[in-house]
């Protein structure tokens, strides 16, 4: 389960960019869609994209060791600046030599800014030009998180990639508040750039904002490209908005952002989203979904999600996926997992291992299909397996925008019709 030699046979990069702490090389492009396969050299590891990054909020992924993450061939994982800043705190992390050494992880790390948690989890008092004022859940005292403080915390953590503090608004928000947040995020970015103390060791990614407004998204993306950052994130999505709006904002952003730098779509982790957004030109993803859903006994497979707690798996002595090479599928049956998930931590651990392995394998398959310039057919095969003959409208529209028309039969005779549901309600059996 390694990608060490994945790009070994490829020649010189088609295009590239170099920053003090990041070199990005686009090695292959799909001749039909906007998908591309790339190599991203970070201070601690060389990652291959498109890639999915598991989320380790407190510097750990629940039930998984860093040795297991290496075996699963994770290239980059996430840490949460707010939680790490609270505990163990920047002083201890600096004494430890940074989060890499503290958690014994020798590959890539990305930290968010902490801004999303200010809005989604805590009792907000106020958002001002200075920063985000909130009530500390540990002692109830009022605190202020500024762009400078966010960067300072992330400099102490020492991640390969840091995110700017942005003024986060719900993707369902409309009106003048969205534009206010977009412009404020740009000003906070400039303050964060000035506060960044380790530019030769860490990369600061700005975040495209603007809600679901095409004009504001365009302005945001255009303004960010003027900053000559090592890479760029697409934020403010995956917050409950219609998927038809979601994909259009993603595609608009990738049309504007530089083609020779990485593009990171924040908070995206469903398999169909990874396949579609890669076709739209995205390189990086993160989401808590694969590991969180594992703790509820749900195993990820190409046809959807397998609810192992259901009684039909009680006497099923096959693995989750006979083609999966993870340690869970090699050693344990659905019957055993049915008996342990949601009851024993062992079951949660085993399904988590499988779900991360599923994400990593999917991304390897995506990269291989791009390198071999057969991504459109890979997409069609994936959609056929996942949805069958009826596919959500947003997926049909998104793929058609990059020249994959699922209404037209392929050489195997497969074609699809649309349904209005944004999400898959049941696995395709």
Q: Please, what's the b/e burial string for 308-327 (b: 16 or more CB within 10 A of its CB; e: otherwise)?
A: bbeeebeebeebbbeebebb
Catalytic residue (choose from 213, 273, 283, 286): 286
- Cα separation, 226 vs 33, in Å, equals 26
The H or E element containing residue 21 is: none
State phi, psi for 353 to the nearest 5 degrees. -55, -50
CB atoms within 10 A of CB 303: 17
Report CA-CA distances (Å) from 44 to 10, 40, 247, 322: 23, 11, 32, 34
- Cα separation, 29 vs 36, in Å, equals 4
3-state secondary structure of 269: coil
Contact call for residues 64 and 77 (beta carbons, < 8 A):
no
Could you tell me how far CA 395 lies from the centroid of its own chain?
18
Residues in the chain: 429
Contact call for residues 161 and 203 (beta carbons, < 8 A):
yes
CB atoms within 10 A of CB 223: 16
Catalytic residue (choose from 112, 160, 167, 213): 112
User: What are 390's two structure tokens?
Assistant: 């009826």
User: What are 356's two structure tokens?
Assistant: 């991360």
- Cα separation, 158 vs 153, in Å, equals 9
Contacts of 82 (CB under 8 A, 6+ apart): 114, 117, 118, 145
- Cα separation, 128 vs 114, in Å, equals 16
Is residue 112 flagged as an active site residue?
Answer: yes
Could you tell me how far CA 375 lies from the centroid of its own chain?
20
Is residue 373 flagged as an active site residue?
Answer: no
3-state secondary structure of 124: strand
Q: Which of 395, 143, 171, 108 is nearest to 280 (CA)?
A: 395
Active-site positions read: 112, 286
């Amino acid at each position: 389960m390694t990608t060490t030699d994945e790009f070994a046979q490829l020649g010189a990069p088609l295009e590239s960019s170099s920053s003090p702490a990041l070199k990005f090389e686009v090695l292959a492009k799909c001749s039909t869609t906007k998908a591309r396969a790339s190599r991203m050299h970070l201070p601690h590891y060389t990652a291959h994209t498109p890639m999915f990054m598991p989320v380790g909020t407190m510097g750990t992924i629940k039930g998984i060791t860093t040795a297991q993450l290496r075996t699963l061939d994770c290239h980059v994982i996430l840490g949460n600046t707010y939680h790490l800043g609270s505990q163990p705190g920047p002083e201890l992390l600096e004494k430890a030599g940074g989060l890499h050494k503290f958690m014994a992880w020798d590959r890539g790390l990305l930290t968010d800014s902490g801004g999303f948690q200010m809005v989604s989890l805590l009792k907000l008092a106020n958002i001002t030009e200075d920063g985000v004022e909130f009530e500390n859940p540990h002692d109830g005292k009022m605190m202020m998180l500024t762009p400078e403080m966010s960067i300072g915390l992330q400099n102490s953590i020492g991640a390969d990639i840091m995110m700017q503090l942005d003024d986060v608004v719900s993707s369902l928000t409309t009106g003048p508040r969205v534009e206010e947040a977009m412009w404020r995020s740009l000003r906070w970015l400039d303050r964060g750039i000035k506060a960044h103390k380790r530019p030769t060791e860490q990369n600061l990614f700005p975040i495209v904002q603007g809600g679901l407004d095409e004009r504001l998204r365009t302005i945001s993306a255009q303004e960010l490209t003027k900053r000559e950052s090592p890479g760029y994130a697409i934020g403010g999505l995956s917050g409950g908005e219609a998927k038809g709006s979601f994909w259009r904002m993603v595609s608009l952003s990738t049309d504007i952002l530089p083609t020779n730098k990485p593009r990171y779509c924040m908070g995206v982790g469903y398999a169909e989203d990874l396949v579609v957004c890669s076709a739209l030109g995205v390189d990086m993803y993160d989401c808590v979904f694969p590991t969180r859903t594992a703790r509820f006994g749900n195993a990820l497979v190409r046809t959807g999600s397998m609810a192992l707690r259901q009684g039909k798996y009680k006497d099923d002595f096959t693995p989750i996926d006979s083609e999966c090479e993870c340690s869970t599928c090699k050693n344990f049956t659905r019957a055993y997992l049915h008996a342990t998930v949601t009851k024993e931590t062992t079951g949660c651990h085993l399904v988590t291992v499988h779900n991360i392995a599923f994400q990593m394998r999917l991304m390897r398959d995506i990269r291989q299909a791009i390198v071999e310039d057969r991504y459109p057919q890979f997409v069609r095969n994936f959609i056929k397996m996942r949805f069958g003959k009826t596919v959500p409208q947003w997926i049909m529209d998104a793929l058609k925008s990059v020249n994959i028309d699922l209404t037209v039969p392929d050489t195997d005779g497969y074609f699809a019709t649309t349904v209005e549901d944004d999400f898959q309600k049941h696995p395709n059996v």
